[in-house]
Amino acid sequence: MPAVNLYDAKTNLSSLVDRAARGEEIVIAKGGRPMARLVPLDRRTAPRRLGLFANQIQVFENFDDPLPDDVMAAFEGLGN
């Protein structure tokens, strides 16, 4: 796994991403200390099926409305 210093990684990000996309793992170091790893994404083995839940779910018109105060308080840990 080659190590690249942070300055070079910023300068050459596009080529590093291309290398990672081809399967290479690249360590990004700052001051000689490894800080991050650039790795390829897992490849999907089968294409995604679109419309898997078509006509099986319903999104109501008020979906994006603000939550009621009591529900919001429960999410924020202020509920009973």
27-66 pLDDT tens trace: 999 999 999 999 998 877 788 888 888 889 999 999 999 9
Cβ 52 vs Cβ 59: under 8 Å = no
Average pLDDT in the chain: 89
Residue 14 has pLDDT above 90, yes or no: yes
**DSSP codes joined into one string, the chain:** --EEEHHHHHHTHHHHHHHHHTT--EEEEETTEEEEEE-PPPPPSSPPPTTTTTTT----TTTTSPPPHHHHHHHTT---
Residue 74 lies in a domain: no
Residue 11 lies in a domain: yes
Cβ 52 vs Cβ 46: under 8 Å = no
The pLDDT score that the predictor gives to residue 79 is 54
Residue 65 lies in a domain: no
Q: What is the pTM of this model?
A: 0.52
Domain that holds residue 19: 3-38
The pLDDT score that the predictor gives to residue 65 is 95
Residue 44 lies in a domain: no
> For the chain, how many structural domains are there in total?
1
Length reported for the chain: 80
Residue 68 lies in a domain: no
The pLDDT score that the predictor gives to residue 80 is 55
